[in-house]
Amino acid sequence: MRLHINTNNTSVIRRMVWLIMTAILLTDSRAGQRLLLFTQPAYNVSIFENSAARTYTKSEVNMGIILGPPWSFEIKYSIVLGDSEGIFQAEDFVMGDFCFLRICTNGGSGAILNREVQDNYTLTVKASAPGGLEALSTVYIKVLDTNDLRPLFSPTSYAFVVSESAPLGASIGRVTATDADVGSNGEFYYFFKNKIDLFAVHPTSGVITLTGRPRMDKQDRFELEVQVVDRGMKLYGNSGISSTARLVLTVQRVNEFAPVLSAVAVVPSWEEKNPVYAVINVEDKDEGISGDIEWVSIIEGDPFEQFVVDRSPVGNEYRVKTSEAVGWDTFPYGCNLTFQAKDRGMPPKFSNTQIVQLLVTKPDPVMANFEKDVYVVTLSEIAPPGSVIEVVKISPAPLRVNYSFSNPSDPVYFDINPLTGVIMTTRQLTRISQDFMVMEVVDMISEQRTSVQIQIEDANDNSPVFNKPFYNIAVNESVPVGTVVLVVSAVDDDKGENGYVSHTISGEQSLPFSIDQKTGEVRITRDLDFESSDDIYTFAVRASDWGSPYRRESEVNITIRVININDNQPLFEKVSCRGMISRDFPVNQTVVTLSAIDMDELGLVEYKILFGNELDYFNLNPDSGALSLKRSLAVDSLKSGVFNLKVVATDGEMFSDPTFVNISVVRGRIPPRGFNCKDTRVAQLLAEKMLSKASAMARPRPDESYTDIFSTNKQPPQFEALPTSILVREDLIPGASVFQVRARDGDTGFNGRVLFSISDGNKENYGSSLALNLSSPAL
C-alpha cells in the first residue's frame, strides 16, 4: 500500500507519524511486547561555556518520546556514555502525550564548561520504562564561545630604531598579541595609550608606521605604550583592555657625510725597531655614531698582508706598520698601497681611496758585531737563581739572532736567552769551586763570537766553624802563669778577609785566662789556687771573621777544671812555746797541745819530735799534737832542769817549718800555768781562703749547652703586600723604577740581609728592560 502525504502540512506529518507509531505499538502489543522510540536517533544542541549550574541546552527540535494511548509510560532518561566528568545530567518532563528529554549542567559537579579546552561533547542517552523497555539516542552538544579571555602581547616590550631620513609611512616594526577566543571575541585592534603625532599603529596588523619627522637633536628616544582590546561584547563597566606593551623607539642620526681620507708617506730610519711607513688622517663631519670610523684598511697593493694599520690612541690618526719582516730587496721600486675608510653610520659610507707609494732605501750593509769583544762581569756568589748578570747583543741589530754558549758545559750555572742575549743564573753559586770563569757566546746565524769573563766575588756566607762542638780539659793548680793549656781554632771557608778569623773570650773578663786572637791559644794569666778560687771555669770563645758589611760569628763553650795538688806545707798555729812544770808533774798528763793546719783541703797532719827528747821524758801524740809527760821527773839522775824540744808537722809529703817547745822543770809545787806561744794567724789565713773560694763558687756559671742564637739563620724572608698586576707605560726609559718590592727578615747581621731577583715570568726579558738589583728592592 502506498501513502501520498502533503509535506507542507506539519500537523498532518505529525499525525501520520503518530499513527504509524500507534500501529507499531498495537502490533507489538498483540505480540505481548512493548517498545520505546525517540523521535530522532540523534539531536544537536548548544550551550555557552562557563554556564552556571542547571543551565539547559538549546535545541531546534523537541527531544524525547511520544506517549500514545492507551498506554501510559513512566520514562526516565540517563546519560550512559560521553560524560566521564559528570558535567551534564538528563531530565524528563511530561507534557500531554510527549515525554521531553532535557539536558542541563550538573550542579553537583566541580567541572565547568571551557570551550578553549573542549568545544563539543557526544552523549549517549538511554530512556528506561517499566517492564524493561529501553531506547537509546545520541545528543551532540556544541559549546558556544563567550568573551572570557582577553588579548595578550607576546612579547611585552619592543625596541626599534628609527632613522631620521626614513620616509613618512615607513614601517618601523610590529607588535603582536594573541586571544584564544573565536569570532568577534578573538578579533582585536591596537592603539597607543597616549596620543603621539610622529607614530601610528595599524589597528589590526600592529605595524608601527612613521607619521612625522623625528629629529635626534630634539628627542632621540621615545618610550610609548601600546594597548590592545578585543571586539567581543563587554560586560558593564569593563573596557576589555587586558595587556599593555612597552615600545622604545630610538632615533638614529642620518649618515649624511662620507669620511674624507688623507695619507702621507713617511721614510723611516733603517735602524728603527718598529718603523712607521705612512700616516693617515680621516675626518667625518657627521655627529654621533655616524661620524665614528669603523676601519681604515689597505684595499690594494698588499697581497701578502705584510702591512697593518694601527689607530693612534687619540683622534682619527692611523699609522701604517709592518706585521712581519719585509724583504725590501724584492721591492726595488717600493710598493703602492691603496687606503680606504668606512664609518659606522646606517647605512655606512666609504671614504675616498688614496694611493701611497712606500719607498725604503736600504743603507749600505754594515758588518754586525757584538757590542763588546769581551764582557767583564763581577758576580756575587750568593746571587739567587734568576739573577741577570749581563746582556750581550749584536749591533746593529739583525733581523734574526740565536745566541747560545759555544761550550755545552757552561750552562750548568748559567742560561742565555737565544733572542735577547740575556745571561741569567740558573742555580746558586756557593758551591762552585772556581772564582773566575770565561764563557764564549756565539750567534748561530751570523757566527759572531764574544767572550764573557765572570769574576765570582766571595760573599761572607760562611760562619767560622770550630773543630769541636765543645772543649773540656783539666789543669793542675800548680801550672805556671803563661802556660798554654788549650788551642781553640775555627776555620772559615770564605776567601780573603771574609775567611780571616779572630778569637776572643766572650762575656766575663775576670777569668785567669787569655786567648791569642790569631792562633786561638788559651794561656794562664794568673796563679790557679784551688784552695782560694773557683775550681771550674766555664766560658765561651767567640770566633769572628773579618767580613764586610756584616761579620759572621760563632761560639764554642770551654770548661777548664782545676785539679788540687799537695802544694802547701803544714803550718803551726802557734810557735816558740815556753813554759814551766814542777818535778812532781803527773805522768801521762798533757803539758801542751800543738796544732798545725794543712791548706790543701784540710789534709791530715802528723806530729814528730826531731830532737831534745833523748832522755825520753816526753811523749808527742802524732795525731792530736798533745805533748805529755812519759815518766816522772823526780829522779836524782835529772841533771838539767831545762828541755828544748824541736817539733815538726808533716802531711806525708811536705814538712812544716820546725818549732821549739822550751820546758823548764822547777822544784816545789807551782800552780799550773799555760805556755806562752807566738800566734802565726794561720787559722785566719785559712778562713780568708775558704771565704774567697766560697764566693768564687757562688758566682753563676754559664750553661755548657749554650748556643749563640744570633748566629743562626732561623727565619726566612717574607714579602710584604704584593700587587697582582702592575701597569707599565710602554714609553718608559730603561732604568725607570716600576715597583718597590718590600721584604723583611727577622734574623740579625748577615742572616737578616735580603737579596732580590726575578725567579720567573721574565724569560723574554724584553731587551733587559725588566731587572731587579740584588741588594735594591726597586723593579
H or E stretch including 207?
A: strand 207-210
Q: Cα Rg for the chain, rounded, in angstroms?
A: 66
Provide the 10 A C-beta neighbour count for residue 707: 14
Distance CA 39, CA 75 (A): 14
CA distances from 435 to 408, 429, 546, 548 (A): 19, 10, 19, 19
Non-local CB neighbours of 747 within 8 Å, separated by 6+ positions: 712, 713, 714, 715
Torsion angle of C-alpha atoms 7, 11, 15, 18, degrees rounded to 10: 100
**Chain CA centroid to CA 71, Å:** 103
Q: Say if residues 773 and 379 touch (Cβ distance below 8 Å).
A: no
Q: Are 208 and 198 in contact (CB under 8 A)?
A: no
Q: For the CA atoms of 338, 344, 345, 348, what is the dihedral angle to 10 degrees?
A: 40
DSSP SS3 for 328: helix
Number of H helices, E strands in the chain: 2, 54
Q: How far is CA 538 from CA 505, 515, 692, in A?
A: 11, 14, 18
Q: How far apart are CA 431 and CA 461, in angstroms?
A: 11
Report the distance separating Cα 362 and Cα 612, nearest Å: 133
Q: What is the DSSP string of 712-762?
A: ------EE----S-----TTPPTT----B--EE--S-GGGG-------SS-
Residue 689: helix, strand or coil by DSSP? helix
What contacts 336, CB < 8 A, 6 or more positions away?
A: 300, 301, 355, 356, 357, 358
CB atoms within 10 A of CB 399: 7
For residue 725, count CB atoms less than 10 angstroms from its CB and return exposed for 0-12, middle for 13-18, buried for 19 or more.
Answer: exposed
For domain 152-252, the CATH superfamily is Cadherins (2.60.40.60)
Q: How far apart are CA 312 and CA 732, in angstroms?
A: 18
Biggest CA-to-CA distance, the chain? 220
pLDDT confidence of residue 207: 94
Order of strands, edge to edge, in the sheet holding 120-129? 58-59, 42-48, 133-144, 120-129, 76-81
Q: May I ask the CATH class of domain 574-679? A: mainly beta
DSSP 667: S
Considering only the top CATH level, what class is 260-358? mainly beta
- DSSP code at position 682: H
Cis status of the peptide bond prior to 151, with omega within 30 of 0: no
User: Do the domains spanning 34-144 and 260-358 agree at the CATH topology level?
Assistant: yes
Cell of 152: 595578550
- Distance in angstroms (rounded) separating the CA atoms of residues 287 and 41: 81
Q: Which pLDDT score is estimated for 3?
A: 45
Query: CB count, 10 Å around CB of 332?
Result: 9
d(CA 440, CA 451): 4
What residue has cell string 728592560?
A: 769
Q: From 473, 637, 494, 432, select the one nearest 562 (Cα to Cα).
A: 473
| 3-class state of residue 499 by DSSP | helix
At 772 the pLDDT is: 46
Q: How far apart, in whole angstroms, are the C-alpha atoms of residue 195 and residue 191?
A: 9
Centroid of chain to Cα 334: 55
Quote the Cα angle for 568-571-577, to 5°: 165
CA 434 – CA 284 distance, rounded (Å): 70
Q: In what order do the strands lie in the sheet with 436-443?
A: 374-380, 449-457, 436-443, 403-405
Helix (H, G, I), strand (E, B) or coil at 124: strand
Taking the C-alpha atoms of residue 548 and residue 555, their distance in angstroms, rounded to an integer, is: 19
The whole-angstrom separation of Cα 239 and Cα 149 is 13
**CATH no. for 34-144:** 2.60.40.60
* DSSP single-letter state for residue 11: H
Is the pTM higher than 0.85? no
**CA 469, CA 683: separation in Å to the nearest integer?**
44
Q: In whole angstroms, give the CA distance from residue 442 to residue 432.
A: 24
Q: Would you list the DSSP string of 764-776? A: STTTTTS---SS-
659: its cell numbers? 818549732
**Which of 753, 751, 750 is closest to 777 using CA atoms?**
753
- C-alpha 454/C-alpha 311 separation (Å) is 46
Q: Where are the domains of the chain?
A: 34-144, 152-252, 260-358, 574-679
Cα separation, 497 vs 548, in Å, equals 8
pLDDT in tens, 561-584: 888 777 778 888 888 899 888 888
Which amino acid appears at position 207 of this protein?
Answer: V
How far apart CA 658 and CA 653 sit, in angstroms, is 15
pLDDT in tens, 99-145: 999 999 988 777 888 888 888 999 999 999 888 889 999 999 999 88
For the chain of 779 residues, list the mean pLDDT of each consecutive stretch of 10: 46 48 45 70 92 90 83 83 90 90 86 87 92 91 84 89 85 88 81 91 91 85 90 62 85 84 86 84 86 91 89 88 80 86 87 88 72 90 85 88 81 85 85 82 89 86 88 87 90 84 81 89 85 80 84 88 80 87 86 83 81 87 88 75 88 85 81 80 77 67 53 74 75 75 73 70 51 53
